[in-house]
A and B are shown apart, each in its own frame.
Chain A
Amino acid sequence: DAMVIQNPRYQVTQFGKPVTLSCSQTLNHNVMYWYQQKSSQAPKLLFHYYDKDFNNEADTPDNFQSRRPNTSFCFLDIRSPGLGDAAMYLCATSSYNQPQHFGDGTRLSIL
């Protein structure tokens, strides 16, 4: 089945230690998104790619970076994670003007 896959499902890292979360898709969608979701809150968009065009949200901290080497893959890099970055990170994909399809998410913990 075509899908959005996020790895790993759970990630534990140390305060200040860089971490990378990955997302892949078999839907061949041209738009990919990264969201941060904290407990009992709605997802918050960090950035999205429209094809290779990177679109950063104005309030996304510089600590968060993203890479999209090809249509299928997108990575979220957190350069120096702080305790406040502990959250669920959701990847989603869509074709233009179509519903977004989400992966299962990566739950990030910071020690």
Chain B
Amino acid sequence: AQKITQTQPGMFVQEKEAVTLDCTYDTSDQSYGLFWYKQPSSGEMIFLIYQGSYDEQNATEGRYSLNFQKARKSANLVISASQLGDSAMYFCAMREGHRDGGATNKLIFGTGTLLAVQP
């Protein structure tokens, strides 16, 4: 069964420092997609970054980068130069594979990591 594991319930980081949020996944599919979402206390889910399983380079979006290690089945999110506004819940998610092959439209979410950025 497909599964996403986020082992860090909470993390602290000093403003302007980098932080890594861990995510490991389990799938037998050859083709899959991995996503990170940010959810501030106001509740909206904000798409941050995407990594496809066949992408040879790690995805980057501004201060966000994804450390994709396929053999280890990990897709850690790295936030550089943390800002106070980065304080939020962060969810790692994987697009669910279809039992008949290909991809469904459904996401499997991890349990999230609550990040607190300290001044």
A residues at B contact (CB < 8 Å): 31, 33, 40-43, 45, 48, 50, 88, 90, 92, 94, 96-97, 99-105, 107
Which of B42, B46, B47, B109 meets A42, CB within 8 Å? B109
A110 CB to closest chain B CB (Å) equals: 17
**Given A50-B105, A97-B103, A99-B50, do A42 and B45 touch, yes or no (CB 8 Å)?**
no
A93 CB to closest chain B CB (Å) equals: 10
**Given A97-B103, A99-B35, A99-B50, do A43 and B44 touch, yes or no (CB 8 Å)?**
no
**Which chain B residues (7-61) contact chain A, with CB distance < 8 Å?**
33, 35, 37, 42-47, 50
**Given A42-B110, A42-B111, do A90 and B45 touch, yes or no (CB 8 Å)?**
yes
Q: How many A-B residue pairs have CB under 8 A?
A: 47
Q: Which residues of B contact A107 (CB under 8 A)?
A: 43
B residues at A contact (CB < 8 Å): 33, 35, 37, 42-47, 50, 91, 95, 103, 105-107, 109-112
What residue of chain B has the Cβ atom nearest to residue A100's Cβ?
B107
A105 near B43 with CB under 8 A, answer yes
B105 near A104 with CB under 8 A, answer no
**Given A42-B112, A104-B42, do A99 and B47 touch, yes or no (CB 8 Å)?**
yes
User: Assuming A41-B111, A42-B110, what are 8 further A-B pairs, CB within 8 angstroms?
Assistant: A40-B112, A45-B107, A92-B45, A94-B105, A96-B105, A99-B47, A105-B44, A105-B45
CA distance A88 to B45 in the complex (A): 11
What residue of chain A has the Cβ atom nearest to residue B45's Cβ?
A102
B40 CB to closest chain A CB (Å) equals: 10
What residue of chain B has the Cβ atom nearest to residue A90's Cβ?
B45
Q: Which residues of B contact A102 (CB under 8 A)?
A: 37, 44-47
